[in-house]
């Protein structure tokens, strides 16, 4: 427990702090009705949470939950910063920044290799070492425009009582570079329960739910929001798209994130014509690409070890700086991540932190912030692009080699 300028920084006490947490959610507009507010205690039972309190009243909370994230073909232990909430009187004094750094420190002590979060806007979380993730495509479309010829079978109706089966279906999806999974049944059910107008349709094989969609409706003709889509292979994904198309007799517009295993535009009939005709209004048609999440490395060695390169080994020094090193300076929770690493990218890649004075001056040196390193190792942007936009410094031949070695285009495929 620590006190700074009259503010107490500590772990969440669920019994003592829950009334204040509920109040904060109401103040920031996250608890829109009693149904949503009822799920708040369930949400905080999972994972870890730090709070900042004035006179024993919580005014800021940062909640983190465990998951996994795939780097190339390896699953890494993941920290998901799931909720950052600050009351109306707790703003402007860096409480959220301090608590986020504290949760990152706790995650690193647990052995997590990487952290992610969904950002409200770009810039704030850069202060604790996060870099912007890769683009995803969001579509708003008339389901009748889906160019899927197969006829779907009659689905089963799903409710929140099927949440465990839906979660199992999501976890069974094909692996994906950058893919995130969060296997917390109680939390997933709480998320499904928050919107009062959610519904699901799916297909069973015996007692096993093989593939499904979960949507949130809005009025008779939509627009609908497709929130979750679980499937094991391409055939099941196509049947779900055909099922979505079958709703077109009543539903005029559906919003969805592009399924990560396909290019959805190739399955639309005349998408540019649709967008030109229905570009504005309630039932609009549109396509947007944007990055909604950020990520940051917590363990450089674990992440580098996931990169398998079959060509000639690339060896270099990596000089990394991390803003959390300064934020948590002197805090026993955190050991500095910044420093100089000797990196080898090969079949057995490695990154070794070296003591000051033990550097290898004969090796080329690459310098960056941990924000940039995170984007580099997951292939969000090529090294040569990061040299332009993110301050990555290094010899041209090394950066060009990194462009060819590191796998590109990560996709979480999960909402967090």
| pLDDT single digits (tens) 93-122 | 999 999 999 999 999 999 999 999 999 888
Residue 5 has pLDDT above 90, yes or no: no
Q: Which whole number is the average pLDDT over 357-365?
A: 88
Which of 87, 40, 78 lies closest to 59, judged by CA? 87
Which pair of tokens denotes residue 105?
A: 């420190």
Domain locations along the chain: 2-112, 137-290, 298-404
Please tell me the distance from the alpha carbon of residue 94 to that of residue 357, in angstroms, as a whole number: 35
CATH hierarchy code of domain 2-112: 3.40.630.30
For the question of whether the overall pTM of this predicted structure is more than 0.85, the answer is: yes
The mean-pLDDT minimum among 136-145, 218-227, 397-406 falls in: 218-227
pLDDT in tens, 299-327: 999 999 999 999 999 999 999 999 999 99
Query: Strand 254-257 relative to strand 224-230: parallel, antiparallel, unpaired?
Result: parallel
The CATH number, out of the four listed (3.40.50.300, 3.40.640.10, 3.30.1050.10, 3.10.20.30), of the domain defined by the range 298-404: 3.30.1050.10
User: Is the separation of the CB atoms in 337 and 325 below 8 Å?
Assistant: yes
* Backbone φ and ψ of 6, nearest 5°: 80, 0
User: Is the separation of the CB atoms in 56 and 109 below 8 Å?
Assistant: no
Please tell me the distance from the alpha carbon of residue 155 to that of residue 205, in angstroms, as a whole number: 12
Count CB atoms within 10 A of the CB of residue 56: 11
User: Is the separation of the CB atoms in 293 and 73 below 8 Å?
Assistant: no
Beta bridge partners of 157: 201
pLDDT in tens, 211-247: 999 999 877 887 899 999 999 999 999 999 999 999 9
Q: Which of the four pLDDT bands, split at 50, 70 and 90, describes residue 333?
A: very high
Whether the domain at 2-112 and the domain at 298-404 fall into the same CATH topology:
no
How high is the pLDDT of residue 221?
Answer: 83
User: Is the separation of the CB atoms in 211 and 230 below 8 Å?
Assistant: yes
Residue 287 has pLDDT above 80, yes or no: yes
Q: Which of the four pLDDT bands, split at 50, 70 and 90, describes residue 277?
A: confident
pLDDT in tens, 184-207: 999 999 999 988 889 999 999 999
How high is the pLDDT of residue 4?
Answer: 45
Give Cβ neighbours of residue 295 (< 8 Å, ≥ 6 apart). Answer: 69, 114, 115, 116, 130, 131, 133, 374, 375, 378, 380
Average per-residue pLDDT in the chain? Answer: 94
Please tell me the distance from the alpha carbon of residue 379 to that of residue 372, in angstroms, as a whole number: 11
| Fold of the domain spanning 137-290 | Aminopeptidase (3.40.630)
pLDDT in tens, 30-40: 887 777 788 99
User: Is the separation of the CB atoms in 68 and 46 below 8 Å?
Assistant: no
pLDDT in tens, 217-227: 877 887 899 99
């Amino acid at each position: 427990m620590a006190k700074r300028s009259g503010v107490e920084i500590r772990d969440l006490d669920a019994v003592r702090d829950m009334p204040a947490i509920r109040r904060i959610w109401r103040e920031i507009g996250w608890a829109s009705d009693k149904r949503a507010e009822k799920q708040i205690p369930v949400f905080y039972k999972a994972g870890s949470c730090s709070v900042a309190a004035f006179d024993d009243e919580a005014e800021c909370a940062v909640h983190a939950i465990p998951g996994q994230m795939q780097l190339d073909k390896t699953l890494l232990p993941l920290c998901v910063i799931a909720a950052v909430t600050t009351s109306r009187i707790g703003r402007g004094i860096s409480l959220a920044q301090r608590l986020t750094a504290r949760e990152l420190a706790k995650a690193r002590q647990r052995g997590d290799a990487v952290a992610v979060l969904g950002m409200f806007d770009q810039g704030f979380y850069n202060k604790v070492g996060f870099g912007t993730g890769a683009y995803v495509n969001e579509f708003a479309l008339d389901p009748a425009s889906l160019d899927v010829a197969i006829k779907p079978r009659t689905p089963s109706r799903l409710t929140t009582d099927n949440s465990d089966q839906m979660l199992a279906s999501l976890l069974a999806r094909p692996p994906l570079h950058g893919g995130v999974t969060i296997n917390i049944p109680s939390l997933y059910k709480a998320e499904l329960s928050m919107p009062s107008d959610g519904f699901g349709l799916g297909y069973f094989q015996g007692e096993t739910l093989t593939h499904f969609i979960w949507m949130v409706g809005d009025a008779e003709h939509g627009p609908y929001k497709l929130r979750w889509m679980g499937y094991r292979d391409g055939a099941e994904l196509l049947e779900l798209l055909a099922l979505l198309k079958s709703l077109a007799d009543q539903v005029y517009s559906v919003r969805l994130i592009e399924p990560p295993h396909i290019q959805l535009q190739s399955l639309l009939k005349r998408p540019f014509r649709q967008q030109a005709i229905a570009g504005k209004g309630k039932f609009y048609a549109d396509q947007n690409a944007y990055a909604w999440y950020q990520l940051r490395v917590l363990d450089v060695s674990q992440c580098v070890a996931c990169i398998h390169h079959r060509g000639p080994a690339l060896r270099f020094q990596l000089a990394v700086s991390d803003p959390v090193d300064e934020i948590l300076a002197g805090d026993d929770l955190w050991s500095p991540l910044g420093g100089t690493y000797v990196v080898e990218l090969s079949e057995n890649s490695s990154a070794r932190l070296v003591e000051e004075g033990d550097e290898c001056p004969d090796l080329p040196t690459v310098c960056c912030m941990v924000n940039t390193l995170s984007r580099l190792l997951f292939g969000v942007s090529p090294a040569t692009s990061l040299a332009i936009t993110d301050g990555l410094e290094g010899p041209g031949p090394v950066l060009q080699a990194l462009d060819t070695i590191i796998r590109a285009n990560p996709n979480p495929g999960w909402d967090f």
